[in-house]
Amino acid sequence: MSPRWKTSADSARTTWYTSRCFSAKQVGELFKAIRKHQNMRTGTTSIIGSVDEELADVLIYLCAIANRLDISLEEALRKKEAVNETRSWI
């Protein structure tokens, strides 16, 4: 399944609730791939992609959400890193 927004009509029909569900599903698939990669038990009926494929899917969804909300991920990341640098991590 490709998580790209196809047309403006398709985008209008895709609710934020639906896009959040797809995002949560992609994160779940990522963790299944990580479990498989770590030789941990996974569902026997699950089709599990590779970690790199699942990371890419999650990134595609994050970019789509940021684009839809007109958020610069680069700027957001730089701001958050600046905040994190001031924090003390135990």
Mean pLDDT of 32-52: 87
pTM of the model as a whole: 0.65
**CA dist list (Å): 18 to 21, 30, 32:** 5, 18, 21
Alpha carbon distance 81, 30 (integer Å): 24
Q: Domain-by-domain residue ranges, the chain?
A: 8-86
Mean pLDDT of 35-54: 87
Architecture of domain 8-86: Orthogonal Bundle (1.10)
